[in-house]
Amino acid sequence: MEDLSLHVLDVAENALAAGADRIILSVQNATGGSNAVFVALIDNGRAMGVLRSADQGATAWTPIGTLPNVNPGGQAQTHFSMIADDSGTRVYVGGDVRNTSPWVGNIVMGNSTGNTWTAIVMTGANNTAPHADFRDMVFDSNGSLIETDDGGIYRLTTPSAGARVWQSLNGDLRITEAISLAYDPLNNV
């Protein structure tokens, strides 16, 4: 396999020139061996866009349509994840929270063939959704998308098909998010 380090440096230089202060890469061994590389550019807590290279970043980088606002909370420095599937054309991007009720996770599927983005929460996932504030994503051996966030672990079955459904894998895991705390140093409470 070709050394990708020089191509990654080119991506980083171009991303910085475009104003990005963070880049996320996803490389997937695609069926048929295309080994496409996807890059997300993040600036000031928001994802600016996702680009794809069909030749491991050696030459052209093509934007995948207009990325929907997956970080309306402006938290992409912390709450952002991306993974490409084995098709070599699809990429999944998760951010912080949807900007409409219900306030659940915000994840979209990009398709470089059609230059489209599809929401895969709520109506895009049979009215199911994971918790907000994505941290990481992987695929399991069955091809389901496993996603971790501030609310635990979730699985999306058949992620590229219309029959997709999110399921919590938390079991008896207890999750708490504290918004604020107070401490009384006089009484130690």
Q: Residue 142 and residue 91: Cα distance in Å, rounded?
A: 17
Q: Can you name the residues that pair with 149 across neighbouring β-strands? A: 134, 152
Which tokens hold the place of 79? 């709450």
Q: What are phi and psi of 32, to 5 degrees?
A: 95, -5
User: When comparing pLDDT for 187 and 8, which is higher?
Assistant: 187
The yes-or-no verdict on residue 39 having pLDDT over 60 is yes
pLDDT score recorded for residue 170 = 92
Structural domain boundaries of the chain?
5-168
pLDDT at 20 over 70: yes
Buried b / exposed e across 57-73, counting CB within 10 Å, b at 16+?
A: beeebeebeebbbbbeb
Structure tokens at 30: 């695609």
Q: What is the pTM of this model?
A: 0.82
**Tens digit of each residue's pLDDT (9 = 90 or more) over 111-128:** 999 999 999 999 999 999
Alpha helices for the chain (secondary structure H):
5-17
What is the arithmetic mean of pLDDT over 89-94? 93
**Residue 19: pLDDT over 80:** no
List the one residue out of 33, 35, 65, 71 whose CA is nearest residue 50: 65
pLDDT at 165: 96
Residue 13 is predicted with a pLDDT of: 59
In tens, the pLDDT along 67-81 reads 988 887 888 788 889
Average pLDDT value over all residues in the chain: 84
Q: How far apart are CA 149 and CA 91, in angstroms?
A: 18
Q: How confident is the model at residue 59 (pLDDT cuts 50, 70, 90)?
A: confident
Checking if the pLDDT of 64 tops 90, the result is yes
Q: How far is CA 15 from CA 108, 116, 138, 158, in A?
A: 22, 22, 25, 32
